[in-house]
Structure 1
Amino acid sequence: MEPDSVDSKGLWCAQSLWEFLESKGQEYAPFDPKRAHRIYAKLAPMLKLEHLKIIHILGTNGKGSTGRFITLGLLQCGHRVLHFSSPHLWHFRERFYRNGGDVSDEELEEAHRALQRFGFVCEASYFEYATFLGLYLAQECDFLVLEAGLGGEFDSTSVLRAHLSVFTPIGVDHKDFLGADIESIAGTKLRAMGDNVLLAPQPYAQSSLIARAIAKERGARLCELGIIESSAQLCTQIEAFCACFGLESREENEWWQAYRAYVARYGYAEFLAQNLLVASFVWRFFGLRVDCGNLAVLDLRGRCEWLRPHILLDVGHNEECARALKSVIEQSFGQRRVILVYNTYFDKSVRHILALLKPCIQEVWIFPLVDNPRVIARSDLEAILGDLGIVYRDFVREEMRDSQDYVVFGSFSVVAGFLDIFEGELCKTN
């Protein structure tokens, strides 16, 4: 098929990937729900994806860590894997984790040039184009672990028919795009399900009810997981899981011991441990045995990450994240109140998040975020903190002390900015 991306003078598009992405504007710009499907219908015949097993990760919280755990297990079993995730902390290439490491800028530029042969891809939005780059980069892989963006049925990642749809906990977020209540948000996400569905434990009962209704309507096989806290509970869940998907059940007592040892070895928070359990059911779906004793460490930064015994770092953007973090703070610091290094975006539930964390907070240090139109106005954040009776001040790295406990929490920009400062100091020291 002849490429159609030449301009009126017959010249190839000369924009680099970075220039092209910059021309797309904000990642969360208004979108056309049919555009990604329209582009993919034309692009699919040019890609070699027939052999690719698709694992589609949807939900609100825990998509990144669940997807990465899945990927680490697939890699241990010798498979070639691309994990597509978003957003990124520092570099766009972080979204494309292939066979154990981020792809290079050169590989991304090559994928961009290949896609630019077909002019119809140029109408894609920022995130849609990132998705198509991921598809191109996954052509030589066995598995594609594909993390959805903020949407569900209209998300560009939903252009593919997944072998397994995995729904992490669905919470209230992105109301401007997805709806004002959990029913609207869950419905939009869950309508992206394929024929085989794994539903992680849900914070809202409505999500489970909606999932069952959609699965029944479509004839999809749905397995709902509950919280697993013992070997006996794991065995019960495995039996139900295998019955749902027509798989052979097997003894897992030794696996449970290795799993608990792995979680303890790296000090994972309980919600990360549960995300790993969800990943383990994905491995079982594909008939894989993963040895937790030799599983690589989670290598996604900022997911309840301990930088020092007194510094905890976590990306969080809604009330469910705040509740999970509050539990970690209480378990880790006991009665000691922490300094919360915080900032976020204007469209988040800032008041509810801070109200949840207030019992654990000594004071808030506002982390500076500049040149970002999504950041909450300083005056609005100060008003919320004042109303809640929380003492606040500006973040000053030089005033952090080893005798005080700190939790760095908020948007990806906060986490990236703090890590830049923290690791920059380590480089100077070393």
Structure 2
Amino acid sequence: MTELMAALTDTWDAENSWKLSTYEAAGGYEGLRRALRTDPADLVQMVKDSGLRGRGGAGFPTGMKWGFLPEPDGGPRYLVVNADESEPGTCKDIPLMMASPQHLVEGVAITSFAIGCHHAFIYVRGEVLHVYRRLLAAVREAYAAGHLGRDIHGSGYDLEVTVHAGAGAYICGEETALLDSLEGRRGQPRLKPPFPAVAGLYARPTVVNNVESIASVPGIVTHGADWFSSLGTEKSSGHGLFSLSGHVTRPGQYEAPLGITLRELLDQAGGVRAGHQLKFWTPGGSSTPIFTHEHLDVPLDYESVGAAGSMLGTRALQIFDETTCVVRAVSRWTDFYAHESCGKCTPCREGTYWLKQILHRIEAGDGEETDLDLLLDLCDNILGRAFCALGDGATSPITSSIQYFRTEYEAHLGGRGCPFDPARSTLFDDTPQAPPALAGAGGH
């Protein structure tokens, strides 16, 4: 059985875990001191040897991405941390930045030194104001302690770090849309090539990495590439945060080596809520094809999840029991993708709109038998034809849910409507009521 571990979460239970003093007491910034005494090329190779893959969803090898930067030409190059966590169900980066922001700040300093960057940016989702404030405080502490700024620890290396609050658009989680937003433009994906490694922020070579990817770097430098690669599986190395939410007894963040199964995680989390059984779940957030109870023992690594027909994504494990209407759940996700489509390309802009209309019609009982084939046809016209991955992600829950639960879709058709009681699937014993002082507010 795969055991849980604490690497990124090692200080989460400490008092004032977000403080620099707490982080340093646990060995924090030893990795930075080692890195500053190491040749930058050796640091890049160390991350390559560790097998660290991007923790933002795509799983691209992190060290390889750093290695794509062209040779220095005397001009600036940038590191941009994608902290625009926005996908329904995905909730690992925000808790990490709240509980231990210094993991990220130290990772930013090491990564910047390794790639020859002197100005790094952390792009945070604007709605999470508490996270933005905590990161700003963490960066201030790091400056005051000499971990950032000029001549860091007498090494002669200078680094400026800017924490930037975005305006709350899901599309800005796409790396090139994020770069446009950071430059003050409307956040929309860029045509690639050129890729950010060649022409990214301000048309300069840029590395864009996820929060968890960068936060994993200090551990690799401190403990070694062999330590990291010994965790997980042969092709999916290391540890990661698994976010369990929904109909689970103890929802939360569970850190474990890649390759752990949902069955093992549920054992740690107390199982599906009492008196109920697993119906379907997402292995990597709402944009990944859903799984059912048949997939409980699929190792949660990139290769195994892919072979089973889905994607590991952000390891956002949303758990749904038998009280949940799969049509309603998929319809709500589709509402999100239709709303968050940036409108740049026709397949996604028009396709998500019509997917939303048809799903609403089916859920209300007004759908026809031909609507299911129409949904699949629309998905086929979006998949692989949209400008970025948002369109592809919008199709995943629809096609996979029809694959596993077509009879449930059919049960809604012909005027029958939804056979599920939404009150039964709520996580609350009773429907939440507004406080008396607010009841009827605005009515008079």
TM-score by length of 1: 0.28
TM-score by length of 2: 0.28
